[in-house]
Amino acid sequence: MSAASRVKRLLRDRAEVVVFEKNGWVSFALCGTPYYIGCRVRRLEELTYYPVEEFTRKRGIRINLYTEVVEIEPGERRLRYRAADGSTGVYEYDYLVLATGAKPRVPREWLVFENVFTLHSLEEADRIRSYIVSNNVRRVAVIGAGYTGLEVAENIRELGREVVVVHSREHVLNKVLDPDMASIVEEKAREKGVELVLGKRAEAIEGDEGRARRVVLRGGDVVEADAFIAAPGIEPNVSLASRAGLRIGETGAIWTDERMRTSDEHIYAVGDAVETRDVITGGRVWWPFAPAGNKQGYVAGTNIAGGDAVFPGVVRSSALGAFGLYIASTGLREEDAARYGFRPVAAYLRARTRSHYFGGGPEIHLKVVADEETGRLIGAQAVSEDSSAFWRANMVAALIWGKATVWDLFSLDQSYWPGANPVWDPLTVAARLLLRRFRGRKWVTLS
Amino acid sequence: MSAASRVKRLLRDRAEVVVFEKNGWVSFALCGTPYYIGCRVRRLEELTYYPVEEFTRKRGIRINLYTEVVEIEPGERRLRYRAADGSTGVYEYDYLVLATGAKPRVPREWLVFENVFTLHSLEEADRIRSYIVSNNVRRVAVIGAGYTGLEVAENIRELGREVVVVHSREHVLNKVLDPDMASIVEEKAREKGVELVLGKRAEAIEGDEGRARRVVLRGGDVVEADAFIAAPGIEPNVSLASRAGLRIGETGAIWTDERMRTSDEHIYAVGDAVETRDVITGGRVWWPFAPAGNKQGYVAGTNIAGGDAVFPGVVRSSALGAFGLYIASTGLREEDAARYGFRPVAAYLRARTRSHYFGGGPEIHLKVVADEETGRLIGAQAVSEDSSAFWRANMVAALIWGKATVWDLFSLDQSYWPGANPVWDPLTVAARLLLRRFRGRKWVTLS
């Protein structure tokens, strides 16, 4: 919708813009679905940014809901679609934008049970909430402790149900947090009554009479529950693109150039289906988060309309809130950095978020990772009950974006007000800790 | 204390470090004094970061309180001091660090009255609070609507007294906010019951029997009150440095190189008494805020101890809280930018701080300023009841630090969580608004 809106904004009546959507919603907040399950969001409509009429009437975009594109014929510049009533059609395009998103990576055989769910659409969120409420579900097993898994677990707990999270890795959120930081989240999750079963892969779901009863873990342990949410991870939805012969990148997502054009000059691709550039490593990365997707849509739309815009890539920023904590991460984890050719050094600290004479504020756990050879910042993770964890990680993201060094983190002219931070901000203290690893270094700064 | 501690940390017993302090406190938070007046901070001791013993016993620093350095003899590498008991002495140094700070710029004749105060030390904060409470002061006039003036006004209001703020300029906080942003603060101040008299210079204070009764404004109007706090501005305290023949910079503050060394190779200077480099303009700026001062102390201490550290300068970041608002600014004001050779373009927006399905959060007023010629970001101002105003301005500071463009602000991989920001963060929206002024531009980004 971001690409569609951008084209219409720039070309107005000179362009016909048509959207094909397999499901019943456009411009919706997938990130909000856990909160719908937990009833913090009451109605599904609240998870849309605009009513459909905003796009159709006001922006002049034609929208076909419940209409699935089943094939693309790049040579003919046309696509074939099938509507909900079974009718089919063909549409000829000058430019096509693929925004096919991602999908849960779940064994098909798990989904035969009526009480096993995935969560990757508003419809699924609705089914989960209905099921839990209507069937008086007492205990829910969540498979996977990534973003979706943890947010769903928290929300089901909020509904007063028992929750057990089963995760194949030793620590939660293992794609964005190092083990030391993940432990802090785990402690808080357990405090809130969430049971965590870590380091055990879910091998099978067993049940009878169409209802799942238990998850069987590698090694043979079982976890019983009344409902199951499978969130072991997602993968890019590239089937249409693959069949159309478009180049799939090394990450398994659709390849595009920085103008968001695929290997076919008339086809652009954006969002969770595409890979992008990792600004830190210079390599390719699949980073399926909403802000990047929206901006890629804006960039694709601009270019289709005759402009010239690039999407430079990501620094792997992401965040979530769970169990009363703000959890934010940017850049590479200390554990991953060596794999990309860096020599990681890290500073970890626990500090108060505000000045002591303003009560100090909640504690923040902050970790900053740098490269020992160049002094460049390459990552940060922050966890706190205070929202400044979110922002402090974002501050490091902004510095990494500019290829800043540890000395930049130290010197950066951050503002200070006792009600918002201590005069030696935790970020500055982290820089000081890191500087011990760089004694005698001649620093070059951005400034 | 930052310089002293750094030298001791690096050299330990190899260096004798002696501190001379005219007043009775070291390592104190001047920024906290308004909150002491408002009783949010109960005891003066709470405004120190460490008890004196931390420095003397633990860090091995000798501290002479109530001991004023009255003269420096650079040729002899010695200084003369006078202790509280009137005794005098001489101290010979290898290196001297001047941290003489700033002082209120107030006509001497105003201070003859017992009920006219300045606020630039813990002792003065104590006198103001005592006077207001002991004399049952009903109405206080604050002269000056800069940082100190507004924070004092808020705190006196919190004590339940009437407050009128008299300011010579048309808008409050005119050094850091453009008029459009200042107006938002003014509206809120008035809502909270603070009377503002703007655009009228205080010409005189009149009274009788040793007590001031009224401020006389240019044009002849008078403002009556029972107590008066004069906060029309501060200036660097350079008298010692001047008399010692050290170079005073174009801003009127002590000149130093980026290693914090003055024109005398054995004398360093740090904090509110010195000028520094403006990273945006490349020129010199006097930017007397605590974070810079502390870092300069660290840099001076490192260099004195034989290390090699630089303080690159500032991007004019600052912040305060007042009237329930977080107010933050970085870089140049739109109004000032032309004076430095920029062609400023600005985006202003009012937006919700969080996602709509998380209640939206309080509104933020955000302004971002860029240079039309280069596309470089050169400033930002943010005002909100939400602390994210503080952090969003800091995000722009981090980008300005790296010489980022508007396209960087748009593309930056900021993280998103609906409880912390909308998926199109106000910063990204501000970038989009600015981009309209740069149609057809080929962008170069940092990434």
pLDDT one-digit tens code per residue, A153-207: 999 999 999 999 999 999 999 999 999 999 999 999 999 999 999 999 999 999 9
Tokens of B206: 């009149």
At A423 the three-state DSSP class reads coil
Strands A194-198 and A162-167, by their bridges, are parallel
Domain final position from A197, A232, A267: A232
CB contact under 8 A, A413 and B32: no
Neighbours of B57 (CB within 10 A): 10
Please classify residue A282 by burial: count the beta carbons closer than 10 Å to its beta carbon, then call 0-12 exposed, 13-18 middle and 19+ buried.
exposed
Determine the Cα–Cα distance for residues A294 and A5; give it in Å rounded to an integer: 11
pLDDT-based confidence at A28, cuts 50/70/90?
confident
CB contact under 8 A, A291 and B415: yes
Task: Flag whether pLDDT at A445 surpasses 70.
Answer: no
Q: Is B408's Cβ below 8 Å from some Cβ in A?
A: yes
CB contact under 8 A, B321 and A32: no
On whether both A160 and A194 belong to a single domain, the answer is yes
Give the CA diameter of chain B: 72
Q: Is residue A349 part of a domain?
A: yes
Pair A400, A349: CB distance under 8 Å: no
Query: Residue A167 corresponds to which amino acid?
Result: H
On whether both B224 and B110 belong to a single domain, the answer is yes
Which residue reads 């979110």 in tokens? A390
Q: Is residue A316 part of a domain?
A: no
Determine the Cα–Cα distance for residues A152 and A117; give it in Å rounded to an integer: 12
On whether both B77 and B126 belong to a single domain, the answer is no
Distance from the B215 Cα atom to the nearest Cα atom in chain A, whole angstroms: 30
pLDDT-based confidence at A124, cuts 50/70/90?
very high
Q: In what order do the strands lie in the sheet with B227-230?
A: B116-117, B227-230, B139-143, B162-167, B194-198
Determine the Cα–Cα distance for residues A370 and A376; give it in Å rounded to an integer: 5
Determine the Cα–Cα distance for residues B419 and B361; give it in Å rounded to an integer: 9
Say which DSSP state B306 is in: T
Distance from the A188 Cα atom to the nearest Cα atom in chain B, whole angstroms: 18
On whether both B408 and B353 belong to a single domain, the answer is yes
Residue of A47, A326, A415 lying closest to B330 (CB–CB): A415
Considering the candidates B11, B15, B31, B197, report the single residue annotated as catalytic: B31
Task: Flag whether pLDDT at A112 surpasses 90.
Answer: yes
Q: Compute CA distances A106 → A98, A215, A252, B110, whole Å.
A: 23, 13, 17, 77
On whether both A128 and A76 belong to a single domain, the answer is no
On whether both A429 and A333 belong to a single domain, the answer is yes
Instruction: Specify the pLDDT at position B441.
Output: 76
Task: Flag whether pLDDT at A43 surpasses 70.
Answer: yes
On whether both A136 and A250 belong to a single domain, the answer is no
Domain span at residue B335 reads 324-437
Instruction: Specify the pLDDT at position A138.
Output: 97
Determine the Cα–Cα distance for residues A94 and B287; give it in Å rounded to an integer: 56
On whether both A87 and A121 belong to a single domain, the answer is no
- Residues of B in Cβ contact (< 8 Å) with A387: 387-388, 420
Determine the Cα–Cα distance for residues A298 and A296; give it in Å rounded to an integer: 5
Mean pLDDT over all residues of chain A?
96
**CA-based end-to-end distance of chain A:** 38
Q: Compute CA distances A141 → A117, A145, A177, B143, whole Å.
A: 10, 11, 23, 64
> Which residues touch B167 (CB under 8 Å, ≥6 apart)?
B143, B144, B145, B149, B196, B197, B198, B199, B200
Which residue reads 């992008």 in tokens? A276
Q: Is residue A417 part of a domain?
A: yes
At A214 the three-state DSSP class reads strand
On whether both B190 and B271 belong to a single domain, the answer is no
Q: Compute CA distances A337 → A101, A288, A378, whole Å.
A: 28, 20, 8
Give the CA diameter of chain A: 72
Pair B91, B17: CB distance under 8 Å: no
Instruction: Specify the pLDDT at position B439.
Output: 79
Q: Is residue A416 part of a domain?
A: yes
CB contact under 8 A, B412 and A398: yes
- Residues of A in Cβ contact (< 8 Å) with B442: 308
> Which residues touch A424 (CB under 8 Å, ≥6 apart)?
B291, B294
A:125-144 residues touching chain B, CB 8 A cutoff: none
Q: Is B394's Cβ below 8 Å from some Cβ in A?
A: yes
Please choose, from the candidates B119, B165, B158, B160, the residue with its C-alpha nearest in 3D space to the C-alpha of residue B141: B165
Report the domain count for chain A: 3
Q: Is residue B31 part of a domain?
A: no
> Which residues touch B263 (CB under 8 Å, ≥6 apart)?
B246, B247, B255
- Residues of A in Cβ contact (< 8 Å) with B446: 401-403
Which residues partner with A78 through β-bridges?
Answer: A73, A92
Sign of CA dihedral A93, A99, A104, A105: positive
Strands B162-167 and B284-285, by their bridges, are unpaired
Domain final position from B232, B264, B290: B232
On whether both A8 and A81 belong to a single domain, the answer is yes
Say which DSSP state B56 is in: I
Q: Is residue B144 part of a domain?
A: yes
User: Along the 447 residues of chain B, how does pLDDT read in single tens digits?
Assistant: 999 999 999 999 999 999 999 999 998 888 999 999 999 999 999 999 888 999 999 999 999 999 999 999 999 999 999 999 999 999 999 999 999 999 999 999 999 999 999 999 999 999 999 999 999 899 999 999 999 999 999 999 999 999 999 999 999 999 999 999 999 999 999 999 999 999 999 999 999 999 999 999 999 999 999 999 999 999 999 999 999 999 999 999 999 999 999 999 999 999 999 999 999 999 999 999 999 999 999 999 999 999 999 999 999 999 999 999 999 999 999 999 999 999 999 999 999 999 999 999 999 999 999 999 999 999 999 999 999 999 999 999 999 999 999 999 999 999 999 999 999 999 999 999 999 998 777 776 666
Q: Compute CA distances B20 → A127, B100, B243, B301, whole Å.
A: 71, 10, 18, 16
On whether both A124 and A227 belong to a single domain, the answer is yes
- Residues of A in Cβ contact (< 8 Å) with B388: 387, 391
DSSP for A79-111 reads EEEEETTS-EEEEE-SSEEE---EEE---GGGG
Residue of A314, A415, A428 lying closest to B393 (CB–CB): A415
Determine the Cα–Cα distance for residues A235 and A213; give it in Å rounded to an integer: 27
The answer, yes or no, to whether ipTM is higher than 0.90 is yes
Which residue reads 């290997």 in tokens? A263
On whether both A424 and A331 belong to a single domain, the answer is yes
pLDDT-based confidence at A447, cuts 50/70/90?
low
> Which residues touch A53 (CB under 8 Å, ≥6 apart)?
none
Sign of CA dihedral A25, A28, A29, A32: negative
Q: Is B390's Cβ below 8 Å from some Cβ in A?
A: yes
CATH at A71 = 3.50.50.60
> Which residues touch B75 (CB under 8 Å, ≥6 apart)?
none
pLDDT one-digit tens code per residue, A413-430: 999 999 999 999 999 999
Please classify residue B338 by burial: count the beta carbons closer than 10 Å to its beta carbon, then call 0-12 exposed, 13-18 middle and 19+ buried.
exposed
Instruction: Specify the pLDDT at position B445.
Output: 64
Q: Is residue A408 part of a domain?
A: yes
- Residues of A in Cβ contact (< 8 Å) with B387: 387-388, 420
DSSP for B208-238 reads ETTEEEEEEETTS-EEE-SEEEE-S-EEE--
CB contact under 8 A, B32 and A390: no
Residue of A357, A399, A416 lying closest to B289 (CB–CB): A416
Tokens of A401: 């974006």
Determine the Cα–Cα distance for residues B212 and B220; give it in Å rounded to an integer: 17
Q: Which residue numbers of A are catalytic? A: 31
Pair B200, B221: CB distance under 8 Å: yes
Which residues partner with A229 through β-bridges?
Answer: A117, A142
Radius of gyration of chain B (CA): 23
Q: Which residue of B has its CA nearest to A277?
A: B447
Determine the Cα–Cα distance for residues B270 and B101; give it in Å rounded to an integer: 8
Which residue reads 């199951």 in tokens? A228
Instruction: Specify the pLDDT at position A441.
Output: 76
Please choose, from the candidates A34, A25, A110, the residue with its C-alpha nearest in 3D space to the C-alpha of residue A63: A25
Phi-psi category of residue B349: left, alpha or beta, with phi > 0 → left and psi -120 to 50 → alpha: beta
Residue length of chain A: 447
pLDDT one-digit tens code per residue, B166-188: 999 999 999 999 999 999 999 99
Determine the Cα–Cα distance for residues A40 and A152; give it in Å rounded to an integer: 12
Q: Is residue B369 part of a domain?
A: yes
Instruction: Specify the pLDDT at position B446.
Output: 65
Determine the Cα–Cα distance for residues B127 and B122; give it in Å rounded to an integer: 9
Distance from the A52 Cα atom to the nearest Cα atom in chain B, whole angstroms: 17
Please choose, from the candidates A370, A367, A371, A445, the residue with its C-alpha nearest in 3D space to the C-alpha of residue A408: A445
A:15-34 residues touching chain B, CB 8 A cutoff: 29, 31-32
Determine the Cα–Cα distance for residues A40 and A32; give it in Å rounded to an integer: 9
Determine the Cα–Cα distance for residues B187 and B165; give it in Å rounded to an integer: 13
Domain final position from B232, B251, B284: B232
Q: Is B211's Cβ below 8 Å from some Cβ in A?
A: no
Instruction: Specify the pLDDT at position B394.
Output: 98
Neighbours of B213 (CB within 10 A): 16
Q: Is B330's Cβ below 8 Å from some Cβ in A?
A: yes
Q: Is B295's Cβ below 8 Å from some Cβ in A?
A: yes
Task: Flag whether pLDDT at A440 surpasses 80.
Answer: no
- Residues of B in Cβ contact (< 8 Å) with A404: 398, 401-402
CATH at A423 = 3.30.390.30
Q: Which residue of A has its CA nearest to B9?
A: A436
